[in-house]
Amino acid sequence: MDLEAVPLRDFAIALFIGALVGIEREKKQEAEPERGIGGLRTFILFAEAGAIAAWLSRATETPWIFVGAGALVAALVIAGYAAWVRTHPGDVGLTTEIAALVVYLLGGLTTYGQPEIAVALAITTSALLAWKEPLHGLVERIGRDDLYAGLKLLIATFIVLPVLPDRALDPWGALNPYRMWWLVILISGLSLLGYAASRWLGSGRGVPVTGLLGGLVSSTAVTLTFARRSREAPDDASFSAALAAGILAAWSVMFVRIGVTVAVLHAPLLGSLAIPLAALAGVGGVAAAVAYRRADDADGKAGEIALRNPFSLRSAMRFAALFAAVLLVAKIAEQHAGARGVYVVAALSGLTDVDAITLSMASGARGGGIAGATATAAIVIAALTNTAVKLGLVVALAGADLRRRVATAAAALAAAALVALLLG
């Protein structure tokens, strides 16, 4: 037989796949010595069997070889599982057995001409097996309302979105229902990811983590919560520094989130936005780090932020209406008042939400209706306006020391943004 016709590389990949999953199962057996149908060697053999059976099936054009060998492997796995259950009736988990069958199939996939997919799936399988505790912990933290919110997001994405018309319905060519709803889903998805991260990691892991995770969902909620909490110990400088670190970290995340949104929607616009957003996020991050260094042992006093799941169909429709209004007004302002009109709309929009104007400007720049420089300046204006509103919350609700710290940082943010715009 011609050795060149034998996919030696694919067989080696199959052995690697078996070893990858087998090592994880072997380590698992060290914690539970009697549990499982096999460890490293057994899983390597499962993968090897799949690779050989698949190669023989291709070479002889007889797919039943792979099917028959798979049936034999399945029978051996079932026999081992049955023997285990008879002696341990209280332990009926199927994870290792299913993993063995998956490894057999992945081994076959390598010699069926898809080694890259097989390796990717093997890594995913090993990760799922190794991360048992974190995954179970995440499921425990998911409430019924969180599950419903996730299902609603799926409904909005895969049921509502496809039936919306993909054309402009207004005389100005600004309101495209399909694209608008897609953008609503984008923002909702980013918020939901941040919320899931906060539920997984927990928001009580220190002020910086609390601020970062909370900023993914709502930097305004972080600001409001920490500003009110500062009243509990208005004379504690260390406590105020910790709270300032959390607030500034949340603000920095907002600027990063704006950049991610623009990159997804219209990447060329990010080129002109990169400098001002980097300046805002960088100055905010440095200010947060400086405040945190002065917090001493107050890190644990900040507590948790009560973040609610950010997605519901009602809130999504409200955001869609706001987005449509901002998009339409910005389009009209651009036509009748030029860039100055857009800047006024951006400032007004930033009073309540920075996402709507970000999406509007990125969409307008992508379609050519709004100049890139105008869109860049409008987004920065909205971000600064929104930051000013949150500074107002701190001034109105926080203690004097926290007000001073946050106000100083806000002034530095504004100066950095203006310098970045002038340089850009």
Buried b (16+ CB within 10 A) or exposed e, 164-175: eeeeeeeeeebb
78 and 133 in contact (C-beta within 8 Å)? no
Return d(Cα 43, Cα 55) in angstroms, integer: 18
How is the chain split into domains, by residue range? 3-130, 137-423
Write down the pLDDT at residue 1.
Answer: 41
Task: Compute how many other C-beta atoms are within 10 angstroms of the C-beta atom of residue 29.
Answer: 15
Return d(Cα 123, Cα 251) in angstroms, integer: 36
Q: How many CA atoms lie within 13 A of 110 on its CB side?
A: 30
Return d(Cα 368, Cα 363) in angstroms, integer: 9
* CA distance readout (Å), 188 to 191, 192, 367, 390: 5, 6, 23, 21
Return d(Cα 355, Cα 184) in angstroms, integer: 9
Which residues have CB under 8 Å from 416's CB, separation 6+? 276, 279, 280, 282, 283
pLDDT in tens, the chain (424 residues): 444 455 788 899 999 999 988 888 887 766 665 555 667 888 899 999 999 999 999 888 888 999 999 899 888 888 887 877 777 666 666 778 888 899 999 999 998 888 889 999 999 988 888 887 777 666 666 667 667 777 777 787 788 878 888 776 766 665 778 777 776 776 677 666 656 665 665 544 556 677 777 777 778 878 887 888 777 666 677 778 888 888 999 899 899 989 988 898 888 888 888 888 999 999 999 998 888 887 765 444 444 555 555 556 666 677 677 667 766 776 676 666 667 888 888 888 888 778 888 888 888 888 777 787 888 889 999 999 989 989 998 888 888 888 999 999 999 998 988 888 777 6
**The tokens of 308 are what?**
């609610």
The secondary structure of 84-114 as a DSSP string is HHHH-TT----HHHHHHHHHHHHHHHHHTT-
Return d(Cα 357, Cα 363) in angstroms, integer: 10
Closest C-alpha to 284, from 251, 331, 328, 321:
251
Task: Compute how many other C-beta atoms are within 10 angstroms of the C-beta atom of residue 200.
Answer: 14
**The tokens of 106 are what?**
């992945």
The secondary structure of 252-314 as a DSSP string is HHHHHHHHHHHHHH-HHHHHHHHHHHHHHHHHHHHHHHHHHHT-TTGGGGG----PPP---HH
327 and 174 in contact (C-beta within 8 Å)? yes
Return d(Cα 376, Cα 391) in angstroms, integer: 23
pTM: 0.61
* CA distance readout (Å), 219 to 16, 101, 108, 183, 285: 45, 46, 49, 20, 14
248 and 354 in contact (C-beta within 8 Å)? no
Three-state SS at 6: coil
Tokens 């932020």 belong to 305
Return d(Cα 165, Cα 168) in angstroms, integer: 8
